[in-house]
Amino acid sequence: MDFNLSSDDVAFRDELRSFLAARLPAEMRDRTLSAHHFEASDIRSWQQILHAHGWGAVHWPREFGGMGATPLQQYLFELECALAGAPIQLAFGLRMLGPVLMRYGSAAHQQYFLPRILSGEHWWCQGYSEPGAGSDLASLKSLAVRHGDHYVVNGQKCWNTLGQHADWIFCLVRTDTAAKPQRGISLLLIDMKTPGITVRPTVLLDGTAEVNEIWLENVRVPVENRVGDENLGWTYAKFLLGHERANIAGIGNSKRELRRLKQIAATETRRGRPLIEDADFRRRLARVEIDLLALEYTNLRMLSAAPNSPSSAISASILKIRGSEIRQALSELLVEAIGVGALRFAGRGPAGQPAALPEAAYEAGLTASYLNLRKLSIFGGSNEIQKNIIAQALIGL
C-alpha cells in the first residue's frame, strides 16, 4: 500500500494540529506529559471542548453527529492528540458502546444516548467481567429476570474501569439460564443512579483507584434499555470488544513515550557518559522502536484492508497483543533510564493518588505508569486468549 498521505489527509492533520495548539489547555497537557495520569474532570472537559469545535467523534458517521472521517484520518487524530499531550477520550461511550448503538440500537437509543456521549454529558463504563468470568466471559452469572416491563438484575461485576465517575453502565447479564452460555446473554443499559447499585473502588499497584467492583442488588432496568434482542447480547459483545482491543494498541501513546525515552537517555548519565551511548541500552531501545514501527505499518495496512477481508477478523487481536507488549517494554526502559529516581514513587497518598515528593512528580509518574501498564496484557481479553483467537481464525485450531 501507499503510506504517503493524500492532500486531504495532510489538510486534515494540519487543521488538527492548529486546533490542538489553540484549544488544548496547557494545564491539561502538562498533567498528561508529566504526571502520567488523568483527572476525571480533564477527560470530561476535553470531550466538551472537542465537541464544541466539531472534533467530538471524528470516526462517527455524519448522520450520528461525527465527522465521517476515513480510518486513516481517525488514526491521525488519535496519533496527533497523543503526541500533543491531550487527555484521553473516554473509549467506553465513543469507541465501544456508540458503534454498537449505531448498528444494533433502537432509534430511541440512538436519538437519546449518542448526542449525550458526544457532548460529554454521559460518562459510560463497562459491566462485563465478573469473579470467575474474565477471559471466559460467556460463563458470567449476573442474572436479569423479567417482570413485566422491567428486568430485575442481581450480580457482581469487577475490574470496572473508572466506574466511580460513570453516569451509565452497559452491562452483560444472563437472561436465559437454560440456553448454552453464549445464547443466554443480553446487553442492558443501566443508569448508575438506580437504587441497588454499589460501587467499591479497587486500589491498584500504582496507588490509584482506577478500577472498581460493582454490585447489583434487585436493580430494576426498563426493558426498553435492552440493546437489540433478548439473549443475543453475545453478538453485540463481540462486536464491542473488537473496538476495545484495537484501542488498547495505543500507538500514539507509545510514540510519545518513545520520544520521551530518547530525551531521557540523551541526558541521563551512567559512569560519566550519556545512557544512549551504552550499547546494551541502545540495542534494546532500537528493538522497541523497530517493533513500534512494524506495529504502525501493520495498523495502517489493516486500515486499508476491506472490512470483510481475512485479516480484519483478527486485526484487533494482533493490535492488542503487540500494542500492549510494546507499551510495557517502553515503560520498563523508562524506569530503567531514570534509575534511582524511580524509587521516589511512594505508593498511595490520602486521596488514592500516587504520593511523591513535589520535585519528583515526573519520576514518580513514570514509576506509577510502569506499575499501571502491567494490566495491559490481561484486560480486554488476555494476550494468551488473543493468540488462541488468531490461531483459530488462521489455521482452524
Task: Answer whether residue 16 shows pLDDT above 60.
Answer: yes
Domain ranges for the chain, please list them.
7-89, 124-232, 249-395
β-pair type (168-174, 124-127): parallel
Q: How many residues does the chain have?
A: 397
State mean pLDDT over 292-306.
83
Residue from 80, 130, 244, 363 carrying the catalytic annotation: 244
- Report pLDDT for 349: 44
State mean pLDDT over 235-261.
81
β-pair type (211-222, 197-202): antiparallel
Domain 249-395 has CATH 1.20.140.10: yes
Task: Answer whether residue 308 shows pLDDT above 70.
Answer: no
Q: Cα separation of 53 and 41, whole Å?
A: 19
Mean pLDDT over each residue of the chain, to the nearest integer? 87
Backbone angles phi, psi at 207, to 5 degrees: 90, -5
| pLDDT confidence bin for 309, thresholds 50/70/90 | low
- Report pLDDT for 313: 59
Q: Where are the alpha helices (DSSP H) in 152-278?
A: 233-248, 251-267
- Report pLDDT for 345: 59
CB 149 within 8 A of CB 107: no
- Report pLDDT for 271: 81
CB 31 within 8 A of CB 42: yes
| pLDDT confidence bin for 136, thresholds 50/70/90 | confident
> For the chain, how long is the longest CA-to-CA vector?
75
Least confident range of 68-82, 126-140, 298-312, 361-375: 298-312
CB 350 within 8 A of CB 207: no
pLDDT 10s digits, 213-224:
999 999 999 999
Other CB atoms within 10 Å distance of the CB of residue 384 = 11
- Report pLDDT for 3: 62
State mean pLDDT over 119-126.
96
Question: Element (H or E) spanning 102, and its range?
Answer: helix 98-104
> Hey, what's the cell of 209?
483507584
Give the closest residue to 140 by CA, choosing from 115, 161, 159, 168. 159
Write out 122-167 in H/E/C secondary structure. Answer: CCEEEECCECCECCCHHHCCCEEEEECCEEEEEEEEEEEECHHHCC
Task: Answer whether residue 357 shows pLDDT above 80.
Answer: no
Region of residue 125 (phi > 0: left; psi between -120 and 50: alpha; otherwise: beta): beta
Amino acid in the structure at residue 296: E
| pLDDT confidence bin for 39, thresholds 50/70/90 | confident
Tally the C-alpha atoms within 13 A of residue 372's C-alpha that lie toward its C-beta. 24
Task: Answer whether residue 1 shows pLDDT above 60.
Answer: no
124-232 CATH: 2.40.110.10
Cα 258–260–266 angle (5° rounding)? Answer: 105
Task: Answer whether residue 278 shows pLDDT above 70.
Answer: yes
Least confident range of 153-157, 193-197, 209-213, 240-244: 240-244
Question: Element (H or E) spanning 46, and its range?
Answer: helix 40-52
CB 231 within 8 A of CB 83: no
pLDDT 10s digits, 182-191:
889 999 999 9
Active site residue 244: yes
| pLDDT confidence bin for 356, thresholds 50/70/90 | very low
> Hey, what's the cell of 125?
463504563
Q: Cα separation of 98 and 133, whole Å?
A: 24
Question: Element (H or E) spanning 320, and its range?
Answer: helix 310-338
- Report pLDDT for 295: 93
Q: Cα separation of 315 and 360, whole Å?
A: 39
Within this chain, domains 124-232 and 249-395 share the same CATH topology: no
Note the pTM of the prediction, 2 decimals. 0.86
Task: Answer whether residue 358 shows pLDDT above 80.
Answer: no
Task: Answer whether residue 355 shows pLDDT above 70.
Answer: no
